[in-house]
Structure 1
Amino acid sequence: MRIRQMGFSQRLKAHRKILTLETLKFIAEYLKDRDARMAALRSGVPENYASRQGAWLKKHPIVLAALENELDEREELKLNKAIAEIERQMELCKELLGLQDY
């Protein structure tokens, strides 16, 4: 039996309704300068994958929907604060579950 690797379009379809912390960080960073590669780098994507991942994320339905909304500076600040709070809560959960290395 041969296992087939999921292609780009299948991955995009499979994850079109899932908002991850990484995608949320990308959206916040992309709003700063509209540079997908730099946004991917700033959101934690390794340098050797940043261009490809940034291009992929720009086409993500959740990202496209988020970019349709025009955010002012206050809303962007609230978004960044919310992301920081999510990251803090994630670290707390990792600590409780003994997953600090992940």
Structure 2
Amino acid sequence: MRIRQVGFSQRLKAHRKLLTLETLKFISEYRKDGDARMAALRSGVPENYASKQGAWLKKHPIVLASMEAELDDRELLKLQKHLNEIEKHMEACKEMLGLQDY
């Protein structure tokens, strides 16, 4: 029996209404300059997938909905601050659970 590996885009399609940390990072970066590839790179997507993943993410329903919100520079800085706090909490949880390599 052959096991079919589910691709990244198919997994995301299954979670169209689920906001992930990775999608949130992409939204924050994409709002800076509107360049999907560079936003994907800055949000942690490997370089060999950045163009494809950026193009896919900019069409994601959550990303599209988030782009409708008009944010000023102060709100964008606040968003980035919250993202940094989330990442710190994630790292603390990984350390607590012994998952630093994941």
How high is the TM-score relative to the length of structure 1? 0.90
Q: Deviations over 1:25-71 (max 9, x none)?
A: 00000000000000000001111000000011001111010001111
Indicate whether 1:50 and 2:50 are aligned: yes
Structure 1 regions of 5+ residues with no counterpart? none
Q: Residues 77 and 92 from structure 1, CA distance in 2 versus in 1: closer, same or farther, beyond 3 angstroms?
A: same
CA RMSD in angstroms, aligned pairs only: 1.7
User: Residue 63 of structure 1 aligns with which residue?
Assistant: 63
How is 1:18-97 mapped onto 2 (pairs within 5 angstroms)? Answer: 18-97=18-97
How high is the TM-score relative to the length of structure 2? 0.90
Comparing 7-16 with 44-53, which one deviates more in the overlay? Answer: 7-16
Structure 2 regions of 5+ residues with no counterpart? none
